[in-house]
Amino acid sequence: MTTAIVSGTFDPITVGHTDLIARAAKIFGKVIVAVSQNTEKRNMFSEKTRFESVKAVFEGEKNVKVVLLRGLLAELVKKRNGVLVRGVRGTGDYDYETDLALINAELEGVETVFIPARPEYSFISSTFVRDMVIYHRPIEKYVPEKALKVLEHEIDNY
């Protein structure tokens, strides 16, 4: 059975992310969710909080494992003999993710599978949710309840 690896900063994890991970689990049987740092981003939530919030969402799911990514994603995928799964919300995501897929294939021979976002989640992004937090707007529709409980203490700082 091939292992799907879904990575992201999950700053914060959204219902779109959880839908993608659940769909990948149905297709591949096993999913590793790699919580990563993006050197181009300044995160709203601490690494520990992001990791714990993602872990809380998938607690009890036997076929989903959450790890903290240290190093290159392509190396993790190769080490686990897996396939990288990426969600795409539209052509902008597709173009960006295609470039990353080509880089990962060049670096480690990693294959990437794209799963399109469901229409009801296609507008939801972590950036959108962070903006909602900054402007003190409700985010319950966009962030899984178990993650919200972990994120609450940092949300209160905004």
- Supply the residues annotated as catalytic: 17, 41, 89, 126
- Is 115 within 8 Å of 121 (Cβ atoms)? no
Report residue 10: phi and psi, to 5°. Answer: 50, 55
Q: Which residues of 16-27 are buried (b: 16+ CB within 10 A; e: fewer)?
A: bbbbbbebbbee
Q: Which residues face 43 on adjacent strands?
A: none
How many residues are present in the chain? 158
- DSSP letter at 135 equals T
75's tokens: 């190396």
